[in-house]
Structures are given as C-alpha cells and as structure tokens.
C-alpha cells in the first residue's frame, strides 16, 4: 500500500514505479494527446510495469506498424516489464468487494501486487473514489505536470 500521505507532489521524489493504461499508449503512439506523447518519450525516467492484459489490449487496438513502434520503443528501455504472472486472487476479491467491476478490480490488484505507485490513465478516475487505493491514479496531463515532462 502506498504510504506517502495525501499529496502526489510531496512524494514525487520517491515515486518511480509506474504503470500505464492502454489509452496512454494508444494516444501517445498515434500522437492524439500531447501529454501521452510526452510520457512515452520520457519513460526512461521511470521503472514501468504493465500487465499482460494491458499489452494485449495495446496489440488489439494498434495497426501492425504501430505495434512495431510500440515494441521498438519499449525494447530500448532498461526498466520496462510486461508482467505475465497471475494476479493474486485475494487482491482481486478485495477490490471487487469494494465495488469494482472485475476488469477494474484486476487493474487495482495488479497495482497492489506489483507495488505500482502511480497508474496513469484517461478513464480510470473512479478508482480514486475507493477508500483504499493501491496507488495514485492520475491522467496524462497531471502526470506531466507533476514530473515536468514535455515533448
């Protein structure tokens, strides 16, 4: 469990292990969102872990050329891991009991299991309403502001 108090900004020097939702990769690779582009260009600054499910969703939503660019970019990163091990069912059950749908419970469980400090997403903000969160959930703009990232 993240124990940095209430402010992401206060903890930013400690925070380096992050995970990205599918939409950040898609928006960044397609240059739809300048903040997602900036995040992808600066991934070398962080230890990044994504679930095998996120990687699968990325592959399902990109063209062959975009998939090549995705793998080319992550292959150059020293600290990028696609985590293929099964989720701890106790974590999944915990987040389902807190009211999350199965897919969202799996994301929360992944973040707790892998000790993710920040999860970047454009559409998972309902996770912020959980009384017990496994990590900070921020959108791409906020993430770029916190870490002063730009293209």
- Its pTM stands at 0.86
The token duo for 40 is 């992808």
Quick check: 122 and 24 in contact, CB under 8 A? yes
Dist. CA 50–CA 59, nearest whole Å: 13
Number of H helices, E strands in the chain: 8, 5
pLDDT tens, position by position, 49-92: 999 999 999 999 999 999 999 999 999 998 999 999 999 999 99
Domains and CATH numbers, the chain: 17-145 (3.40.50.1010)
Nearest by Cα to 76 from 40, 22, 111, 50: 40
pLDDT tens, position by position, 80-112: 999 999 999 999 999 999 888 888 899 999 999
Quick check: 129 and 108 in contact, CB under 8 A? no
């Amino acid at each position: 469990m993240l124990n940095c108090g209430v402010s992401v900004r206060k903890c930013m020097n400690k925070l380096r292990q992050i995970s990205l939702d599918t939409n950040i990769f898609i928006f960044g690779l397609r240059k739809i969102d300048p903040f997602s582009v900036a995040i992808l260009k600066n991934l070398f600054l962080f230890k990044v872990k994504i679930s095998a499910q996120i990687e699968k969703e990325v592959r399902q939503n990109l063209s062959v050329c975009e998939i090549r660019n995705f793998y080319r970019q992550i292959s150059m990163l020293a600290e990028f891991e696609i985590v293929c091990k099964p989720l701890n069912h106790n974590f999944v059950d915990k987040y389902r009991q807190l009211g999350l749908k199965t897919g969202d419970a799996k994301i929360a469980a992944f973040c707790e299991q892998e000790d993710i400090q920040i999860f970047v997403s454009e559409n998972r903000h309902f996770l912020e309403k959980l009384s017990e969160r496994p990590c900070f959930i921020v959108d791409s703009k906020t993430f770029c502001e916190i870490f002063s990232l730009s293209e």
